[in-house]
Structures are given as C-alpha cells and as structure tokens.
A and B are shown apart, each in its own frame.
Chain A
Amino acid sequence: MSDFRQSQNEAHPNKTNTLMTGIILLLILFVTIQIWFLFGALNNALQENLNFAITTAVGSLVFAFASFWLLRYLPDPIKKRKKK
C-alpha cells in the first residue's frame, strides 16, 4: 500500500539529495565563517582587543546552535525507506 510520503518520494526522487546537499553546504559555510572568527579573535586577543573576541564568540555560538538546529532537517537514511 502506498501512502502520501511514498508517493511524494516517488514524484520527487531528488528531494533527499537536494536537502542533503543544501544542509551540508550551509554547514560548510557556517564552519568557514567560524574559522574566520576564531582566527580574528586569536589575533585580536593578542592585541588586547576584548570586544572583538566577545563579538566573535557570540557569533560563533549562534552559528553552532544554527548547525545543531539544521540537523533536525537531515533526511532519514535511505536504507530505511526501502520497503519492498
């Protein structure tokens, strides 16, 4: 018996792929920005520029939470969907 989810998946077979690629690209973007923040904070902390360190730390935490939140939308493993 087919249900709504199955017919949706059959109508749009690339959906999982697109979602996965989108999430991974977003995560790579977040991590890249965080590396940039960390590098800047390290350099500026040496110059006793605390405000910059605080700003980047807050930004980095926001990105980390966003990354964890994005995991909610990870598609389920394909293996589990194979119902034959």
Chain B
Amino acid sequence: MSKDPNQEIPKWKQDFPIEQKEATHVSRREFAKFLTLLSGALAVGNTAIVVKSLAFPEKPLIGEHPICLESQVAEGESFQFEIEGSKTIPYLLINLGEGEWRAFEQKCTHLSCAVKYRHDIGQIECPCHKGYFNARTGDVIQGPPPRPLPQLEVVIREGQVFVKAQTV
C-alpha cells in the first residue's frame, strides 16, 4: 500500500498553499465548520441579552424632575429635554392645550429616529419612515414602529412643569 501524498504535507504548509486556487478554495467541510461557528456565536449573542437584562436592569426614574416653566411652552408646541440617568434619554414635552400635557421618549421605537409633535394633525410623527403615534397615549397609529412610545407623567405645580415615572 502506497502512502497518501497529502498526509506528508505538514499542517502549517496546508494553510499556506503555493497556488492561489488552493488558497481561495473553501471546501464544504470548512463551510460546515463556519456555519457551526456562526451558530455558536448566535447562541452567545442570545445568552448575552439575557445576562445583560438580569445583571444590569434598567433603573426606573425616581422622583420628580423640573423641566421648564409652564409659560415657556405655548399651546400646540413641544419642548425637548433630557434626563440624566444610567443613560441620557431625550424626551419630548407636549402642551396639547386645555391644560393637557404629555411627555414621551423622543426616540422612535422603530429605529430610534427623533420624533416630533405635529399639532396640525394632533399626532407625533417619525419623519424617517412615516410612523405616527397618538399624542395622548403614545400608541402606534401607523407605520413601522413596533411599540408605543414610553411615557412620563407630567405634573404642573405653581407654574412649573415636572415629570416623573408613570404610575400604572
């Protein structure tokens, strides 16, 4: 029985072949191994989501935060503000008129574009992909956003506007 000539080639030499054709060739074995590696990476990614949510839960907003004076935001206007926390989140304060105020997170739940309030249609619009939210509840009316906008509770006291976490 003759010896297999391929067996004599050392492993390091197999990795650095002389001919370009051999270097660019991906065998089905290698492809299968790559798919397995990808499968392992996806499993690690999925586990990382669980670990992150268990180990670093998002802290709820505590207390009331002063935003601006009531007189600074006219009826039908909106005011952008940020709250510092574990993350700095931009919010949108909206004066709907007749003493109704709302505060929503300004990031669209689709791809985090900045949303804006449109008083002419009474809705919050995401200009990127034409998503529309209800300006009173934050629910999705139309478009690609999968979830309603997170909302804060607005408190008016002595002409000053405060926000706090929504009590369900």
Give B68 Cβ to nearest chain A Cβ, in Å.
29
**Candidates A28, A61, A80; contact of B35 at CB < 8 Å:** A28
Complex Cα spacing A71 to B29, Å: 9
B160 interface contact, C-beta 8 A? no
Within 8 A of A (CB), among B70-122: 109
Size bracket, chain B contacts: 20 to 34
Of B44-52, B127-135, B151-159, the one touching chain A: B44-52
User: Can you name the residue of chain A whose Cβ is closest to the Cβ of B51?
Assistant: A57
| Binary flags per residue of A51-79, CB closer than 8 Å to B gives 1, else 0 | 00110110011011001101100100101
Q: Given A38-B45, A50-B53: A82 and B4 within 8 A (CB)?
A: yes
Q: A27-B39, A34-B46, A45-B53 are in contact. List 10 more A-B contacts (CB 8 A).
A: A20-B28, A23-B32, A31-B35, A34-B43, A41-B46, A50-B50, A53-B53, A56-B46, A64-B39, A74-B29
Give B150 Cβ to nearest chain A Cβ, in Å.
10
In contact, A46 and B147 (Cβ under 8 angstroms): yes
Residues of B with C-beta under 8 A to A1: 1
B42 interface contact, C-beta 8 A? yes
Q: Given A56-B46, A61-B47: A77 and B27 within 8 A (CB)?
A: yes
In contact, B146 and A43 (Cβ under 8 angstroms): yes
Complex Cα spacing A68 to B35, Å: 10
